[in-house]
Amino acid sequence: PEGSVNIGEFLAIVHALALLVRQGRDCPIYSDSRTAICWVRDKHTKTKLQPTAANRRLFDLLQRGERWLATHTYPNPILKWETKKWGENPADFGRK
């Protein structure tokens, strides 16, 4: 509850990459968040959210994600989900 959609998308992409690398799979990952895709590409989040005691765990996860990106490579393309063409991303489960 202390986070943002872009933070959630970033963490989801990084976790998917880590899982797929462990499994040796090179399939694409789709996200409808241009911001999260850019953060992964840049290996750094640029959230305006300020760290607090309530979101400390979230910032720990962001640091872990950034560290993983800085120390690993991956073959998986990260692609923009084209909502206007393809409809709502099934991963959103109608929560928008």
Could you tell me how far CA 81 lies from the centroid of its own chain? 13
What is the chain's mean pLDDT, rounded?
A: 92
Q: What are the C-alpha distances in Å from 64 to residues 20, 36, 72, 74, 93?
A: 17, 15, 12, 16, 26
pLDDT digits (tens, 9 = 90+) for 12-54: 999 999 999 999 999 999 999 999 999 999 999 999 999 999 9
Rounded CA separation 74/88 (Å):
26
pLDDT tens, residue by residue, 47-59: 999 999 999 999 9
| DSSP-derived secondary structure for 28-67 | -EEES-HHHHHHHHHTS----PPP-STTHHHHHHHHHHHH
pLDDT over 70 (residue 65)? yes
